[in-house]
Amino acid sequence: MDKAVSEKIKQLKPFLDEKVAKYNQPSFIPDDPVSIPHLFSKKEDIEISGFWAAVLAWGQRKTIIKKCRELFALMDWAPHDFMLHHQEEDLKRFLQFKHRTFNTTDTLYFIEFLSWYYRRYPSLEDGFVQHLSPADTHVGPGLIGFHNLFFSLPYAPQRTRKHVATPARKAACKRLLMFLRWMVRHDNNGVDFGIWKQIQPSQLVCPCDVHVDRVGRKLGLISRKQTDWLTALELTENLKLLDSRDPVKYDFALFGLGVEEKF
């Protein structure tokens, strides 16, 4: 990287640290999809609800939260128990569930996979870390491995693949990266959970949603024309100039600037 560009980015640190402190607060939770896993206290319920809320996180945040509440009410607010113990008859209640392009086929396959998975593994973290080495500088291999595992069951619907992104297709993977941020980052601010210990915060990649992308470009943190996996890596590498151990904390700053301050 050009030294002048690097120095310019480093000069952003006080400004962005201030915005992280402003938005990485419990007051951020109620209006964000992260509020969904915060409805639960059991680790497995937090994982399942967090994963699903992240996958459904497109459109207006108010609508996302409403649809997630509708979904988990259908599981009697006990998603892990539902995955392990539901009967075939119980699946009928999901036939009308839909959010944007996420339809009944997708819903039923998610239930099928999560039911299969939790009978074999104690935590959803295993689905990512079995493909990830501590030496890996980012979670890309874990995302690719998880995608392949997720669609490894017989008759996995082709249409559902668009809902679980993979860097192998150059996707920005913004929703899965948001989910990983929730599960992996740990601080005392109460937004992110930090319940996964086998992935390091330094391995996380910043979710590059439309707001983060716009603000990142405005601040000179992104130079690539398109928004894809390499863009997310570029943004994260630049954020590591500000904090190499926890670069994705700046997701709060960029998102807050974009949504709350219309930066």
Q: How is the chain split into domains, by residue range?
A: 1-30+206-263, 32-197
The predicted pLDDT at position 193 comes to: 98
Q: Find the length of the chain.
A: 263
CB atoms within 10 A of CB 78: 16
Cα–Cα distance measured from residue 14 to residue 108, given in angstroms and rounded to the nearest whole number = 47
The predicted pLDDT at position 3 comes to: 81
DSSP state of 225: S
Residue 15, judged by CB atoms within 10 A of its CB (0-12, 13-18, 19+), counts as exposed
The predicted pLDDT at position 200 comes to: 97
Question: Phi and psi (nearest 5°) for 239?
Answer: -70, -25
Q: What is the mean pLDDT of each run of 10 residues along the chain (263 residues)?
A: 84 97 97 97 98 95 96 98 97 96 97 98 97 95 98 96 96 97 97 97 97 96 96 98 97 95 83
Of 139, 111, 138, nearest to 127 by C-alpha is 139
Residue 69, judged by CB atoms within 10 A of its CB (0-12, 13-18, 19+), counts as middle
The predicted pLDDT at position 261 comes to: 84
The predicted pLDDT at position 2 comes to: 78
| Beta partners for residue 256, in sequence order | none
